[in-house]
Amino acid sequence: MNRILLISLAASIAPSLAFSAGQPTWPAGAQDTNDPRVLAFYDGTCAHYADQNGLTGVARDAYLTKCRTDMPEVYPVGYAQGGGGGGDE
C-alpha cells in the first residue's frame, strides 16, 4: 500500500519538477524593475515559455516582445512570487 502511494506521489510531482527545472528563478532581494537580474528573469521566463510552446521565427519574436511587455504585471517587483515559477518572497 505504501509503495503504491509513493509511486503515485512521485508520478504526480515529476511533471511539475521537470517543468520548473528549466525555468528561471526569481532573483533574491530584487527590488527594482530595472534591476538587470529582474530583466534577465523576465527574458529567461519568456524564452522558456516560447520553448515550451515550440515557437519559432516570427511567431517566437512576436511572442517574446509581448511577453516581455507583460512580465512586470505577471511577476511584479515587491510582491510574493506565486506558483508560476517565481521564487523568493
All residues at 6 or more sequence positions from 35 whose CB lies less than 8 Å from its CB, including other chains: 27, 77
pLDDT digits (tens, 9 = 90+) for 53-86: 999 999 999 999 999 999 999 989 876 554 444 4
- Note the pLDDT tens digit of each residue in 48-60: 999 999 999 999 9
Name residues whose C-beta falls within 8 Å of residue 31's C-beta, 6 or more positions apart in sequence: 77, 78
pTM above 0.85, yes or no: no
H runs (alpha helix) in the chain: 2-21, 36-52, 57-74
